[in-house]
């Protein structure tokens, strides 16, 4: 039941957001940040402890996945995309 | 480079008015020929910023979750799934069957009905040639449409050379086929009807359910190329009464080089295999199944199923934003294809009085295409646009915008802004635009000899 505590959920969320910010690729980074935020928002009102457990485990797996993919991204990095620089036109 | 564009345009426009009877289409082709040489392929320099990717119909980036699923099978679990005698083979086979289930679940099929291939092109070839040749004794007629993918049209052409009769159904101006026409053309000699679900150039969604029911009632096999539709719109092969379906891996954020063919078992569809050998994949497609690729493909299908609604909602919002912004800022923009019956992520716009190639060149910060990747090498305007009856000049000035899972609002806004800016600039330079502004009707001009 401890894993269902609000503090745990928030800390998981923060860790996911922190890792997602590290993606070197613009598209992956924006997608991860957006999807994590929307994913947590849509499950805001889930009460059932079993469902919560499942969701939190999924979140932990995703966290590990993001960490791995971030390192791969750093190993094989490429140039930045055009929208990442200061807008000048 | 600006001077070259301006001078070549002026020279061409002068040629158009003063030389022999060149239609606007002809001059457009000439300028396209000149501009084609200018879009030279070159790789990005080390510090050059990458263009935005807005060409999701050509291919899609791999989802990180897909890559994560594939890597173990590239590094450690490298066994051949058909090896029956050791753990390497067994674990590979388990992964392959799991992937098969994931693909089958996405389209509402049974895992035994999925055959892994090297992509949608191979699946299309297998199904069209396979069905036609198997049932050749009694049935020798095939029906398809004029807007199909090149691989389908080419397979049909080969079959025509073998003696089959092929009907290429025309499409209406909005890109949809006429069901009554299809009904009339189906005869007791028809073995296969092949119509793609979502067109890759104009994004039009055909009424597959109605066509499926029609074909089932007439006892004709129905094949659909669903490469652009799978994972983007909900598909159920049993509701739609589809007998064969081609799926492509790299259109749904999976790896390139893998695809699948759905072959119905009840009622059984028999196919003459294209690739013979050790009898893998039910004898329909021999050859070692590439475990890492199919594992990635399966993961991509599972992710697509989970994210279908979320992605669809987002893509619709972004697509509407793009179209509204462009159409409200610049006049004379035509969207090709039916506005309702479509997949929102594929937008094909024609900008009148602007050449597609020169607009693409001007939008060098955005990766776009005009027409499909497989026809972009030729100078002809896309046959799909010709089939929907687009004017020659509009067909030459069409651009396809692709929006996908990873597209951001920022990218759409940047694309829209640049597009509007460049279209206005190119129109300023166009003498035809000047004439239109003065109220001259271009179609009434007689281009005379001198």
Dump pLDDT digits (tens) for B126-171: 999 999 999 999 999 999 999 999 999 999 999 999 999 999 999 9
**Helices A26-42 and A6-20: crossing angle, nearest 10°?**
170
Range name among B44-53, B205-214, B430-439, B440-449 with the lowest pLDDT average: B440-449
Within-domain flag for A86: no
Within an 8 Å CB–CB cutoff, is residue A80 touching chain B? yes
Cross-chain CB nearest to A80 (options B50, B407, B408): B50
Three-point CA angle B103, B98, A57, nearest 5°: 100
**Does position B372 have pLDDT exceeding 80, yes or no?**
no
d(CA B250, CA B252) in angstroms, rounded, equals: 6
Tokens of B126: 């297998």
pLDDT at B262: 97
**Does position B28 have pLDDT exceeding 80, yes or no?**
no
Tell me the ipTM for this assembly: 0.91
Closest CA to B303 of B230, B379, B200: B230
Name every chain B residue with its beta carbon within 8 A of the beta carbon of A32.
64
Within-domain flag for A2: no
d(CA A47, CA A60) in angstroms, rounded, equals: 19
Chain A closest CA to B78's CA: distance in Å?
20
User: Per the CB < 8 Å rule, is B52 touching A78?
Assistant: no
What's the Cα-to-Cα distance from B53 to each of A75, A83, B24, B60, B178, rounded to whole Å?
22, 11, 32, 9, 35
Q: Which domains does chain B carry?
A: 64-303 (3.40.640.10), 308-443 (3.90.1150.10)
User: Per the CB < 8 Å rule, is B405 touching A31?
Assistant: yes
Asked whether the beta carbons of B349 and B419 are under 8 A apart, the reply is no
Closest CA to B148 of B118, B127, B117: B127
**Does position B16 have pLDDT exceeding 50, yes or no?**
no
Name every chain A residue with its beta carbon within 8 A of the beta carbon of B68.
65, 68-69
Give me the half-sphere count of Cα atoms (radius 13 Å) on the Cβ side of residue A89: 8
**Can you tell me whether residue B202 is helix, strand or coil?**
coil
Name every chain A residue with its beta carbon within 8 A of the beta carbon of B411.
83
pLDDT at A4: 60
Per DSSP (E only), the strands in B67-220 are 114-117, 141-145, 165-169, 190-194
Cross-chain CB nearest to B408 (options A30, A78, A79): A30
Phi/psi for B77 (5° steps) reads -95, 65
Name every chain B residue with its beta carbon within 8 A of the beta carbon of A78.
50
d(CA B265, CA B250) in angstroms, rounded, equals: 26
In terms of Cβ atoms closer than 10 Å to its own Cβ (0-12, 13-18, 19+), residue B399 is buried
Using DSSP, how many helices (H) and how many strands (E) does chain B show? 14, 12
d(CA B105, CA B108) in angstroms, rounded, equals: 5
| Among chain B residues, CA nearest to A66 | B64
DSSP output for B108-149: T--GGGEEEES-HHHHHHHHHHHHHHHTTTT--EEEEETTS-
Chain A closest CA to B69's CA: distance in Å?
9
What are the residues whose beta carbons fall under 8 Å from the beta carbon of B351, sequence distance 6 or more?
B330, B332, B333, B359, B397, B398, B399, B423
Name every chain B residue with its beta carbon within 8 A of the beta carbon of A26.
408
- The mean of the pLDDT values for chain B is 89
User: Per the CB < 8 Å rule, is B44 touching A79?
Assistant: yes
Whether residue B374 lies in the annotated active site = yes
User: Per the CB < 8 Å rule, is A82 touching B49?
Assistant: yes
User: Per the CB < 8 Å rule, is B51 touching A31?
Assistant: no
User: Per the CB < 8 Å rule, is A65 touching B65?
Assistant: yes
How many domains does chain A divide into? 1
Reported as a single tens digit per residue, the pLDDT across B78-128 is 999 999 999 999 999 999 999 999 999 999 999 999 999 999 999 999 999
**Does position B356 have pLDDT exceeding 90, yes or no?**
no
**Domain that includes residue A74, residue range:** 12-79
Selected for mutation to probe chain B from A27, A30, A78 (highest B CB count within 10 Å) is A27
* Residue that wins the pLDDT comparison between B41 and B95: B95
Closest CA to B263 of B222, B210, B304, B219: B222
Report, as an integer, the average pLDDT of B277-285. 94
Within an 8 Å CB–CB cutoff, is residue A86 touching chain B? no
**Does position B373 have pLDDT exceeding 80, yes or no?**
no
User: Per the CB < 8 Å rule, is A82 touching B52?
Assistant: yes
Chain A closest CA to B437's CA: distance in Å?
28
pLDDT at B55: 94
pLDDT at B264: 96
> Greatest CA separation found in chain A?
54
Cross-chain CB nearest to B68 (options A38, A68, A84): A68
Give me the half-sphere count of Cα atoms (radius 13 Å) on the Cβ side of residue B210: 10
Among positive and negative, which fits the CA dihedral B414, B336, B61, A12? positive
Asked whether the beta carbons of A36 and A17 are under 8 A apart, the reply is yes
Within an 8 Å CB–CB cutoff, is residue B50 touching chain A? yes
Within-domain flag for A17: yes
User: Per the CB < 8 Å rule, is B49 touching A79?
Assistant: yes
- The mean of the pLDDT values for chain A is 89
Within-domain flag for A57: yes
> Greatest CA separation found in chain B?
82
Cross-chain CB nearest to A27 (options B46, B406, B414): B406
Within-domain flag for A35: yes
* Residue that wins the pLDDT comparison between B445 and A32: A32
> Confidence band (pLDDT; 50, 70, 90) for B31?
very low
Q: Which residues of B104-138 are buried (b: 16+ CB within 10 A; e: fewer)?
A: bebbebbeebbbbbbbbbbbbbbbbbbbbbbbeee
pLDDT at B35: 43
Give the count of beta carbons closer than 10 Å to the beta carbon of residue B202: 30
pLDDT at B9: 52
Give the count of beta carbons closer than 10 Å to the beta carbon of residue A39: 16
Asked whether the beta carbons of B165 and B140 are under 8 A apart, the reply is yes
Chain B closest CA to A17's CA: distance in Å?
16
How many contacts, defined by CB atoms under 8 Å, are there between A and B?
51
Reported as a single tens digit per residue, the pLDDT across B410-434 is 999 999 999 999 999 999 998 888 8
Within-domain flag for A22: yes
Report, as an integer, the average pLDDT of B197-226. 95
Within an 8 Å CB–CB cutoff, is residue B310 touching chain A? yes
Within an 8 Å CB–CB cutoff, is residue A28 touching chain B? yes
B226-285 residues touching A, CB cutoff 8 A: none
d(CA B335, CA B388) in angstroms, rounded, equals: 12
Reported as a single tens digit per residue, the pLDDT across B192-205 is 999 999 999 999 99
pLDDT at B33: 46
pLDDT at A85: 67
**Does position A12 have pLDDT exceeding 50, yes or no?**
yes
> Confidence band (pLDDT; 50, 70, 90) for B392?
confident
């Amino acid at each position: 039941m401890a894993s269902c505590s609000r503090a745990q959920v928030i800390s998981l969320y923060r860790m996911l957001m922190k890792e997602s910010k590290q993606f070197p690729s613009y598209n992956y980074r924006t997608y991860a940040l957006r999807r994590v935020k929307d994913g947590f928002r849509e499950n805001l009102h889930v009460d059932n402890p079993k469902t919560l457990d499942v969701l939190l485990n999924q979140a932990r797996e995703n966290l590990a996945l993001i960490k791995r993919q971030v390192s791969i991204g750093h190993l094989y990095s490429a140039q930045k995309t055009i929208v990442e620089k200061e807008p000048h036109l | 480079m600006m001077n070259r564009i301006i001078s070549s345009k002026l020279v061409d426009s002068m040629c158009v008015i003063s030389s022999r009877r060149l239609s606007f289409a002809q001059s457009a082709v000439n300028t396209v020929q000149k501009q084609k040489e200018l879009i030279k392929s070159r790789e990005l320099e080390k510090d050059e910023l990458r263009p935005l990717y807005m060409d999701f119909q050509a291919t899609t980036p791999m989802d990180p979750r897909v890559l994560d699923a594939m890597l173990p099978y590239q590094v450690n679990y490298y066994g051949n799934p058909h090896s029956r005698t050791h753990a390497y083979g067994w674990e590979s086979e388990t992964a392959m069957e799991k992937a098969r289930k994931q693909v089958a679940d996405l389209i509402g099929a049974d895992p035994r009905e999925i055959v892994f291939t090297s992509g949608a092109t191979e699946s299309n070839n297998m199904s069209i040639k396979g069905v036609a040749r198997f049932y050749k004794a009694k049935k020798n007629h095939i029906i398809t449409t004029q807007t199909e993918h090149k691989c389908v049209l080419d397979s049909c052409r080969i079959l025509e050379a073998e003696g089959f009769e092929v009907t290429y159904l025309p499409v209406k101006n909005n890109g949809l086929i006429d069901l009554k026409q299809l009904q009339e053309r189906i005869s007791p000699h028809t073995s296969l009807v092949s119509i793609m679900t979502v067109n890759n150039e104009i994004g039009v969604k055909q009424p597959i359910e109605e066509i499926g029911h029609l074909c089932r009632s007439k006892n004709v096999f129905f094949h659909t190329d669903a490469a652009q539709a799978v994972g983007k719109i909900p598909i159920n092969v049993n509701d739609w009464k589809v007998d064969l379906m081609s799926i492509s891996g790299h259109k749904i954020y999976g790896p390139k080089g893998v695809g699948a063919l759905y072959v119905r078992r009840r009622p059984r569809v028999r196919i003459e295999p294209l690739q013979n050998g050790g009898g893998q994949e039910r004898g329909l497609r021999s050859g070692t199944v590439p475990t890492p690729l199919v594992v990635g493909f399966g993961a991509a299908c599972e992710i697509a199923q989970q994210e279908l609604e979320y992605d669809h909602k987002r893509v619709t919002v972004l697509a509407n934003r793009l179209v509204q912004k462009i159409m409200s800022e610049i006049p004379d923009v035509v969207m090709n294809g039916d506005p309702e019956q479509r997949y929102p992520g594929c937008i094909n716009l024609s900008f009148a009085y602007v050449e597609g190639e020169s607009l693409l060149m001007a939008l060098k910060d955005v990766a776009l295409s005009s027409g499909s990747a497989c026809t972009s090498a030729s100078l002809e305007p896309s046959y799909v646009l010709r089939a929907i009856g687009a004017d020659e000049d509009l067909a030459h000035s069409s651009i396809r915008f692709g929006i996908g899972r990873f597209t951001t609002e920022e990218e759409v806004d940047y694309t829209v802004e640049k597009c509007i800016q460049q279209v206005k600039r190119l129109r300023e330079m166009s003498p035809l635009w000047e004439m239109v502004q003065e109220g001259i009707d271009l179609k009434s001009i007689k281009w005379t000899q001198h």
